[in-house]
């Protein structure tokens, strides 16, 4: 009797775990049916997917800064590159090129 009572009380939450696992299995099966692979997605050309033309220049400039001696020279170079990048990003901001949708 005591074991039946403890089992009904579910103190270790074993039954709850079984129920949760079964629910998750069912959700996973449902998700597998609805899942779309990257191959099924159609490519989109918009502001978020286009590569900014200045990013390659920015990467190259940062790498050139790494060739400077460690310390003040390198940090000044990085600051200048950061200022340049910020100016270019602000001038090419999507909000100024595209109307709000």
Taking alpha carbons only, the member of 90, 63, 99 closest to residue 78 is 63
Tokens 């901001």: give the residue: 93
* Residues in contact with 10: Cβ distance below 8 Å, sequence separation at least 6, in sequence order: 16
Q: How many helices (H) and strands (E) does the chain have?
A: 5, 0
Q: What is the pLDDT of residues 39-50, one digit of tens each?
A: 888 888 877 777
Res 95: pLDDT = 64
Q: What is the mean pLDDT of each run of 10 residues along the chain (101 residues)?
A: 79 76 90 81 79 89 95 96 92 64 48
Four-CA torsion 76, 78, 84, 88, nearest 10 degrees: -170
Tokens 């270019």: give the residue: 88
Res 98: pLDDT = 57
């Amino acid at each position: 009797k005591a074991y039946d009572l403890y089992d009904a009380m579910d103190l270790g939450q074993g039954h709850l775990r079984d129920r949760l696992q079964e629910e998750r299995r069912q959700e996973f099966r449902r998700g597998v049916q609805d899942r779309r692979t990257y191959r099924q997605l159609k490519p989109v050309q918009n502001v978020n997917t286009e590569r900014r033309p200045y990013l390659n220049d920015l990467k190259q400039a940062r790498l050139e800064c790494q060739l400077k001696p460690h310390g003040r020279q390198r940090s000044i170079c990085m600051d200048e590159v950061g200022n340049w990048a910020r100016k270019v990003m602000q001038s090419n901001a999507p909000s100024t090129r595209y109307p709000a949708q």
